[in-house]
Structure 1
Amino acid sequence: MLASITARSSLAKPLSSLLIKSIQDNQILVSHDGHARILSLNRPEKLNSLSSSMCKEISERLVEYSKSNLNNLIILNSTSPKAFCAGGDVVTAVENINAKNPKAACEFFHQEYSLNYLLSIYSKPVITLMNGITMGGGVGLSVHTPFRIASEDTRLAMPEMDIGFIPDVGTSFFLPKLDGSLGYYLALTGDDLIGIDNLIAGTATHYVPKVRIPELTKRLTSLTYPNDLLQDIGNQPNISNLSPQTKEFFSITNQAIEEFSDSVPENHKFKLSNQERHLVDKVFDSNSIYSAFETLESLIIKAEGSEYADSKPFLLDLKKKLNKKSPLSLSLAYELLNRGSESNNYDSLREELVAAQNIILKSKSTDFVTGVTEKLIKKTNSPLWKHKSYNDVQVKDVTALLSTEKLPFTELKNYINEDNANVKFSSYPANFALPSENEVKDYITGNDGTGRDYAVTLKEVFNRFALKYNDKAGMKWKIKNILERKTRPNKFDNQYLEWSY
C-alpha cells in the first residue's frame, strides 16, 4: 500500500490558483487542493476568536467531508500571522448575558463543545497548524486532532482562570493526560507554552519551523491514493474503529509531516526546570484545590535549607499566580480535571457544557461576567471575585455548578453517527505525540505487557523507543529528560535503571 501512495508535488496547484469560497462574512475560508480540504480561520481583527457561526460552519464542512470519497485529509489553519485562534468569543457571551439573553451564550458553548467532540472522533486525518496565539477555543480546535503542528511562534495557553471560567473545550480530558501534573499546572495557572515546548509537553505532535509550513502544506495536499483506498477512507464512520488501510493512511500522513519536522536541540531548556516539574507534580498530586494549597504552603516552609531551596522563588510565584485567580473557578476547575482524568472524551466535554451553562445562568453567584468585563472589556485586570479565598468556597458552591437541572442543553450534538450513539474513549485512538512519561515508566518497571521481569539499561530504553517511534523528531530529548527526572541507577548494578518517582 505504501508504494502505491505517492506525492505529486509537481502537479500541485500554486496557492494563488486555489478555489477560495467566502463563508459568512469570510470568517471561514474554504480551499480545495488535490484531495485535501483546507479550512482557514479568517477573523484577524479578533485574533480569530470563535463565533457561533464559525463553529457551525466548521462542523458542517467536516460532516460534508467525512462522507465524501473525494478528499482524504483536512487542514485547519489561519490567515493571520499573529494567531491561529485566541479563543471563543466570550465578550459576546457576556454581552448576551447582560442583555438578558443567556440562552444565546449557552448555545455558543453547546456549538463549540460539539465541534470539539466531532474533531475528537473524526475518521480522517486532521492537521492543525498552530501558528501564533493558540488559546482557549484555539486549544480546543487543536488538541483533539491527531496532528498538531507547532512552530516557533506558537503560544499555547488556557487562561480561563483569569476570567472566572473553567478549562473547557475538552481540556479537562486532554490536560490530565500530560506527563505528571503538568496539565493541572497549565490549566490552573494559565501559563503558556512557547514553540517547541509544545512538542515536549504533548500539546503538539510535531514542531515545524514556520518557514517550512508552505512546503509542508504543499506536500500534504499532494498525497494521492488509489480509488479503493479513497473509498475505504470515506466509509469510516468515526475514529474508534478504523480499517487497517485507513490506519496506514494516518501513519503515512505522519511520515510526511516528519519530513519537515525539527528535533529538540540538545541544549534546549524546557519552560520548567526538572526540579520545578518535580514540585509541580507534588503540589497538584492532590484531590482538591484545598489540598494543593496545603502542599504548596508546606513546600514553601520547608524550602529553606532543603533540596528545594533554589526553587523557593518558583513556589512563591506559583502561590501568587493561583491567588490571583477566581477561587470559585479554581475549585470547579480542579474538580473537572479530576473527573476528566478518569473519564472519556464525550463525558468530559458534556460535564464542561453543564458547568459552562450553570456559570452563565447563575451569573450573579459566579465570576464569569466580572472576569470578562474587567479583563477583556474594561481591561482593568482587577476583578473583584465573589470569594476572597479558596477557603471561602464550599462544596455546595461547586456541586451547584455541576447540576443538570433546568439547563437548555444536557448532551452534545452528534453530527456523524446515524444511530446517534456517542463515541467514547479514555485515550485518543490516533496518537502521534512523543512518548509519554507513563509509557516510559511502564517499560522500565516491566508493566508494558511483555511479561519481562528484569531491569533495563539506558541504551535499551533508547533503542526500544527509537524503534517504536521510528526515531521521531524530539524523541531522544524527551526520553533523556524523563530518565533524568524520574529514574536512578539500580543500587546493585548502576548500568540498570530504577523508576524512582
Structure 2
Amino acid sequence: MNGPTSPTSATNTSGTIADEEPVLLHTDGRAAHITLNRPKALNALNHLMVRRIDEALTAWEHDPAVETVVITGAGERGLCAGGDIRAVHDDARDADGAASAAFWRDEYRLNARIARYPKPYVAVMDGIVMGGGVGVSAHGSVRIATERSRIAMPETGIGFVPDVGGTHLLGLAPGELGTHLALTGAQIGAEDAVLCGLADHYVPSPSLPDLVGDLGRLPVREALVPHVRPAPEGALTGHREWIDDCYAADTVEEIVRRLFAHGDPAAKEAAETLLTKSPTTLKVTLTALRRARRLGSLERVLEQEYRVSCAALSTADLVEGIRAQVIDKDRTPRWSPATLAEVTDADVERYFRPLGERRGLGLDG
C-alpha cells in the first residue's frame, strides 16, 4: 500500500487485494474511512494494522479535503475484539518479547494520537469492542454505541492488565465504576458506556449506514442529529451503591470481602468472578488504576501501561491465561501465585519498574 488513497484501499472492496488488506481505507466526500478488515479474527489488531492506521491519519491530517475520520469494523460481529493475543502468547513463550513490546509501543502511541487528533474522529463502536478495540475508539472525539455494543477491558482474565489507555479512561469513570470494570472485565452496553465516559451517543444499528453516509456530506454535529436516540437502560446505575462502597477498599482482598458481605446477589457474583482472575494482575490493575488517577494525562498513563505490559511478558500468568482462554480454550488457567494472599507487594511493584534497555514511548505530557 502506497498510502491511504492507494488502489489497494476500500475503494475496491470486491477485489481480492482489497479483501486481503487488514485495514481498508477510502474517502467519501468530506469523510475518510478506516475499516478494520480481519472479520474472521473479529478484527483483532496486529502491528501492521497499527502502522496502516497511523500512516492514514498522517496523510489525512494534512489533507484539506478530509474534514472527518470514521473508523468501523468489517463483518457482523463488532469493531475489534482486541490485540492479536495469539501472537503475544507465542512471543512471550518462545522468544524474548521484543516483537510484542514493539507492537505495544506503536499501538499506545497511536492511542495518544487518536486522543489529540485535530479533526473529528468518529468511532462506530457497534458489536464487540474490547481491549485494543477500546484503544482505537474510546479515545476518539465522537464515540457511537449501539444496542449491539459489548464494550469491555477483559485483560485480568488472561493474566494481563488493562492497557491502550484503559486505566486512564476507567480511572475517570464516576465513583468506582471503572475499578469494577477493570477488575472483573465485565461487558457493558451503550448507556453504561456513556455513563462511564467510554462513549458519547447511542445510535440504533439499523441507522448506522445512513449516519456514515451523512458524515460524508455534513459536519459531524449535523450528521448526528437525525440518528441519535436515548440509549436503552443500562445496568450500572442500579448497582452504584455497592460498587462504590466495595471497590473503594485499598486492597483486592478487602474488595472481595466487602463484595461477599454486601448481600446483593450481583455483588456476590462480582466477587466470584474476581476469584477466577489472575491474582497478580488483579493487584497490579488496582495499583495501576489508582496511580493513573494521580498521573493525570493520558500520555503519562500510557507510559506507565507500557512498563506494566512489558513486565507482563516475563510472567507465567500471561502465557497461561492466553493458553487457557484462547489457545486450548479449557477455561481453567493455573495462576501462579494461585491466591491473592500469596501475591506480595514486591510482586506488584516489579511491574512498575523503569524499563532499562527498553525505551519508553517518548510521549510528552
Report the TM-score when normalising by structure 1. Answer: 0.67
Q: In structure 2, which of residues 257, 269, 293 is the aligned counterpart of residue 317 of structure 1?
A: 269
Q: In structure 1, which of residues 87, 99, 123 is the aligned counterpart of residue 118 of structure 2?
A: 123
Aligned counterparts, 1:124-203, within 5 A = 124-203=119-198
Asked if the contact 1:130/1:151 (under 8 Å) is kept, the reply is: yes
Asked if the contact 2:190/2:231 (under 8 Å) is kept, the reply is: no
Whole-Å Cα distance in 1 between the matches of residues 306 and 357 of structure 2? 10
Aligned counterparts, 1:66-77, within 5 A = 66-77=61-72
Asked if residue 351 in structure 1 is aligned to residue 304 in structure 2, the reply is yes
Show the counterpart of 2:216: 221
Whole-Å Cα distance in 1 between the matches of residues 18 and 300 of structure 2? 31
Q: Percent identity among equivalent residues? A: 29
Q: 1:117: Cα distance to partner?
A: 1.0
Whole-Å Cα distance in 2 between the matches of residues 136 and 97 of structure 1? 18
Asked if residue 330 in structure 1 is aligned to residue 282 in structure 2, the reply is yes
Asked if the contact 2:192/2:236 (under 8 Å) is kept, the reply is: no
**Higher mean displacement: 49-58 or 402-411:** 402-411
Whole-Å Cα distance in 1 between the matches of residues 202 and 40 of structure 2? 27
Q: In structure 2, which of residues 11, 28, 43 is the aligned counterpart of residue 19 of structure 1?
A: 11
Whole-Å Cα distance in 2 between the matches of residues 90 and 259 of structure 1? 39
User: Bigger radius of gyration, 1 or 2?
Assistant: 1
Asked if the contact 1:152/1:196 (under 8 Å) is kept, the reply is: no
Deviations 1:432-470 (A, max 9, x none): xxxxxxxxxxxxxxxxxxxxxxxxxxxxxxxxxxxxxxx
Q: 1:292: Cα distance to partner?
A: 2.2
Asked if residue 342 in structure 1 is aligned to residue 294 in structure 2, the reply is yes
> Which residue identity does 2:326 align to in structure 1?
L
Asked if residue 394 in structure 1 is aligned to residue 358 in structure 2, the reply is no
Unaligned runs of 5+ in 1: 1-17, 224-251, 304-310, 415-421, 425-501
Aligned counterparts, 1:286-301, within 5 A = 286-297=249-260, 299-300=261-262
Q: 1:34: Cα distance to partner?
A: 1.2
Deviations 1:234-256 (A, max 9, x none): xxxxxxxxxxxxxxxxxx52343
Asked if the contact 2:122/2:141 (under 8 Å) is kept, the reply is: yes
Show the counterpart of 2:327: 377
Asked if the contact 1:129/1:148 (under 8 Å) is kept, the reply is: yes
Asked if residue 280 in structure 1 is aligned to residue 280 in structure 2, the reply is no
> Which residue identity does 2:300 align to in structure 1?
D
Deviations 1:154-186 (A, max 9, x none): 111111111000011101100121111111111
Aligned counterparts, 1:46-57, within 5 A = 46-57=41-52
Whole-Å Cα distance in 1 between the matches of residues 184 and 355 of structure 2? 30
Whole-Å Cα distance in 1 between the matches of residues 276 and 198 of structure 2? 25
After superposition, the CA RMSD in angstroms is 1.9
Equivalent residue of 2:114, what SS? Answer: helix
Whole-Å Cα distance in 2 between the matches of residues 184 and 218 of structure 1? 37
Asked if the contact 1:31/1:38 (under 8 Å) is kept, the reply is: yes
Q: In structure 1, which of residues 75, 78, 83 is the aligned counterpart of residue 78 of structure 2?
A: 83
> Which residue identity does 1:350 align to in structure 2?
E
Show the counterpart of 2:361: 411
Asked if the contact 2:324/2:333 (under 8 Å) is kept, the reply is: yes
Asked if the contact 1:24/1:53 (under 8 Å) is kept, the reply is: no
Asked if the contact 1:110/1:409 (under 8 Å) is kept, the reply is: no
Unaligned runs of 5+ in 2: 1-9
Asked if the contact 2:30/2:215 (under 8 Å) is kept, the reply is: no
Residue 23 to residue 339, structure 1, CA distance change in 2 (3 Å): farther
Q: 1:25: Cα distance to partner?
A: 3.7
Deviations 1:24-53 (A, max 9, x none): 941000111112110100001100000000
Q: How many residues align structurally? A: 352
**Higher mean displacement: 373-382 or 110-119:** 110-119
Asked if the contact 1:328/1:393 (under 8 Å) is kept, the reply is: yes
Q: 1:294: Cα distance to partner?
A: 4.1
Deviations 1:120-165 (A, max 9, x none): 1111100001111101110111110011101111111111111000
Asked if the contact 2:78/2:128 (under 8 Å) is kept, the reply is: yes
Whole-Å Cα distance in 1 between the matches of residues 299 and 12 of structure 2? 33
Show the counterpart of 1:253: 220
Asked if the contact 1:20/1:31 (under 8 Å) is kept, the reply is: no
Whole-Å Cα distance in 2 between the matches of residues 23 and 100 of structure 1? 32
Residue 283 to residue 36, structure 1, CA distance change in 2 (3 Å): same
Whole-Å Cα distance in 1 between the matches of residues 317 and 357 of structure 2? 19
Asked if the contact 2:146/2:202 (under 8 Å) is kept, the reply is: yes
Asked if the contact 2:158/2:321 (under 8 Å) is kept, the reply is: yes
